[in-house]
Every structure is written in C-alpha cells, then in structure tokens.
C-alpha cells in the first residue's frame, strides 16, 4: 500500500510540476520567451511596483525613450495605484505576476486562477481601464492546470537573466553579462523590487545603474526597444497547437541530423546541409548537360536546416520575402559547395546534388533541374511529410495548405557536379585560394 502511495505521489508530482516545467522552460511550448527581430529587445521587470525603485526606473525609461513590460504583483498594485497609472500613461505594457509572489507549484490550480491571477487582473483593470492579457508566473514556474485555466493569457518567460536580485552581482558585472547575452529578439528579465523571498532589498539599485549603461550601448548599436506584445506580433508568433508541433518536430529533426550524419555546408549559414550517399531511386535522372544519375551513383543529398527555415518563415513578411531570402542564402553557399567537391575526400566522385522538396521555386535560376517525382507510395508519403513541414516553416503555412494544395507537389531538384563547376567555378576558386 505504501509503495502504491509513493508511486502515485511521484506520478502526480511529475504531471503537476515536472512535465509543465519541461514543456515551458526546456521546450518553450505554450509560452513566449524570445522574438525574431534582428535589432529588437524587450526589457521586462518583475515583482513591482516598488515605491522606491519603480519611479527611478520609469524616469530612466522615459529619459531614453524605452518601451518596456512590467509584470506586477496585485497586492503591490493595490497599494501603489499611482505607479501603475504612470506605467500605463507612459506607454508601457502591464502584465500579471500573481497577487502575491507565490509559486504555482505550491498552490491549487483554481487558487492560482481566481485568487492570484484574476484578482490581480481586476485590480489592474480598475486602475488603468484596460484588462491585462499577459502573465508571467513567479520564478517562471507553472503547474499542469495553468495551461487550461489561464488560456486567455499570453504566458511570457524570458531568454536573458542575470540574477539581478542579488546585490553581490554588482552593476559592472551585470552590465557585462547583459551586453554579452542580449541578441536580436531577446526578452530580458529584470526586477524593480528587492522585497521578494531570496532577493536583496538594495539589488534594484545596481540593476538601475547597469541598465542605463546597457541602454546607451544598445542604442549605439541601433537596437529598438519594444514591449513583449509588439515583439510577439512582429515575430508572427505561432499558436499554441503549432508551437507543440514545432517543438516536437525540431526534436525529431535534431535526432535525424545526428543519426544520418547530415552536415551544414557553412556553420554560419546552415540553410543547406549535405549527406554523401548512394542514389537509391529507380528512376534515372537525365540532366541537361548530358550527365545521368543512376541507382548506385554517389551523390550529395540535399537537406534544408528546418530550424533555420522556421526562423526565416516566422520573420518573413510574405511568401515572396521568404523565397528571396532562401535564394540569396543558397547563392552564397554555392562557392563553398564547389570547394567541398574540389578538396574534401568524402566528395570524391560525387556526380551531383540531389534533393526532394516542395520548396523548389527559384531553384532553376541557380542551375538546378526540377523533375516530377514518380507516382507511388513513396511519392504519397513524401507529399504528406513535406506538407507538414510547410505548415511548420511557412509564414502562412496553414492558409497555404488550404488555398494552394494543387501546387504543393514534391519535386526532385538536381544539378550535376560538372554544371556546378561551370556556373560557379570562378567563385569557387576564390574560395579555395
């Protein structure tokens, strides 16, 4: 009986606490934690409002014209409505951070929803006239039921954290770490109060000193400061269901690349990846330059970096924009492929590049031949696979699947090594020298 009780408790703990932690903190499922803008950063501040430090922070943000996001505690908002009103009037986004700074793991799910989140949202709405739609759980910790009970809120975590709640970090070290870690699309976690459990009361003082220097430096680098809602909109953040599919897909993708020993042509531009193998297709591929690829011939099998493709698709403003990015990145990689063919022993006797893709527009301009895939079970399965891929990586994937399904036919794309040399030999020689 005791064994069953212990096992049951372990299972409950795993489902209630550990599973949502893995989903949110490790896989990023159901939460927003990073944008895609190359020169955008979102500063977010937790645990306030604080009567000592929040006014100083607001002065600093106004001085440098920075838009930020505040995740406030309902109990403090009730005590300091004038600070909430000022945040709202100065254009900052205000979200909920519970009524009290308590972990959702230690609270029953309905308590989180009603006494912590809804109660805080009611207070903020009464002060600003606007009901908050963003939520950050204390310590970034959710329980399993939060996904459903808080589904009306956009849950926001972070991509950069510097432990600014500790005074011993100091402003100099804090500045250094922030400037090192902040990249385009970063969501930065900071605190404008030192009154929560584990924090030092004077810690926000060091945060403010570091933050001003960081803002000055980032401004010189032409960064834009946005709130998390603006960042999410500009990044075309996917819905909850799609994010689950994407997360699972990317896990499978990493395993496939490792298992099949697929390698990027360029580690800085990973769009094209190659695997030297034998051509196993029954159809002989006849290329315009007279070359033929037959079963058993050595080829460099083309693969796309679907993680990068998803990032490009998420930030693309249109289908045309995405296509242009893909063509330009591919053009830049051609000389490096030439170098592999000329210098890498693994590529000796490779007859050409070969791949199967729905994304084949523009490949003819690069010298590729585009051929129909022979009908059959393999073609049908490939079509299903690539349609799922399109749904994931395309900026309008779901709509495109509905409206242009007749165009979503997988094609063979191939180019001989000889044709590659003829087209790109000059650039290839420059790359070798």
272-278 and 298-304 as β-strands: parallel, antiparallel, unpaired?
A: antiparallel
What tokens does 180 get?
């090192």
Task: Give the single-character DSSP code of 166.
Answer: -
CB atoms within 10 A of CB 262: 17
Torsion of CA 307, 312, 313, 316, to 10 degrees: 170
Beta bridge partners of 39: none
Dist. CA 159–CA 182, nearest whole Å: 9
Tokens of 73: 């505690």
Whether the CB-CB separation of 134 and 154 falls below 8 Å is answered with yes
Q: Residue 304 contacts by C-beta under 8 Å, 6 or more apart in sequence?
A: 271, 272, 273, 357, 359
Strands 224-225 and 186-191: unpaired
By annotation, the residues acting in catalysis are 46, 191
Q: Strand 134-135 to strand 154-155: parallel, antiparallel, or no bridges (unpaired)?
A: parallel
């Amino acid at each position: 009986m005791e064994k069953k009780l212990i096992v049951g408790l372990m299972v409950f703990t795993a489902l209630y606490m550990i599973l949502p932690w893995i989903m949110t903190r490790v896989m990023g499922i159901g939460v927003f934690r990073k944008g895609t803008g190359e020169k955008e950063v979102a500063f977010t501040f937790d645990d306030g409002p604080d009567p000592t430090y929040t006014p100083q922070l607001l002065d600093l943000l106004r001085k440098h014209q920075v838009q930020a996001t505040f995740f406030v505690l309902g109990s403090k908002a009730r005590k300091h409505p004038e600070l909430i009103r000022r945040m709202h009037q100065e254009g900052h986004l205000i979200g909920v951070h519970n009524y009290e700074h308590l972990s959702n793991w230690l609270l029953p799910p309905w308590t989180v929803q009603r006494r912590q989140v809804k109660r805080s949202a009611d207070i903020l709405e009464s002060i600003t006239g606007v009901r908050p739609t963003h939520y950050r759980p204390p310590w970034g910790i959710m329980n399993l039921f939060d996904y459903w009970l808080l589904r009306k809120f956009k849950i926001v975590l972070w991509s950069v954290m510097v432990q600014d709640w500790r005074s011993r970090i100091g402003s100099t070290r804090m500045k250094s770490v922030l400037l090192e870690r902040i990249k385009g699309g970063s969501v930065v976690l900071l605190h404008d109060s030192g009154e929560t459990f584990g924090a030092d009361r004077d810690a926000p003082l060091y945060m403010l000193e570091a933050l001003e220097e960081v803002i000055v430096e980032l401004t010189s680098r032409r960064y834009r400061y946005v709130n998390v809602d603006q960042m999410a909109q500009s990044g075309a953040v996917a819905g909850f269901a799609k994010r689950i599919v994407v997360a699972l897909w990317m896990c499978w993708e990493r395993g496939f690349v490792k298992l099949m020993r697929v390698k990027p042509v360029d580690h800085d531009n990973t769009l094209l990846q190659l695997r030297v193998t034998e051509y196993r297709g029954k159809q002989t591929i006849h290329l315009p330059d007279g070359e033929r690829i037959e079963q058993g011939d050595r080829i460099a099998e083309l693969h796309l970096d679907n993680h990068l493709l998803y990032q490009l698709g998420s930030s693309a403003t249109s289908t045309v924009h995405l296509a242009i990015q893909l063509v330009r990145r591919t053009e830049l990689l051609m000389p490096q492929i030439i170098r592999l063919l000329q210098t890498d022993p693994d590529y000796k006797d490779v007859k050409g590049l070969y791949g199967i893709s729905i994304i084949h527009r523009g490949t003819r301009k690069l010298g590729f031949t585009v051929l129909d895939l022979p009908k059959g079970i393999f073609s049908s399965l490939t079509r299903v696979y690539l349609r799922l891929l399109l749904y994931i990586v395309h900026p309008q994937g779901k709509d495109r699947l509905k409206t242009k399904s007749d165009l979503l036919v997988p094609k063979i794309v191939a180019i001989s090594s000889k044709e590659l040399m003829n087209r790109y030999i000059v650039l290839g020689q420059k790359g070798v020298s």
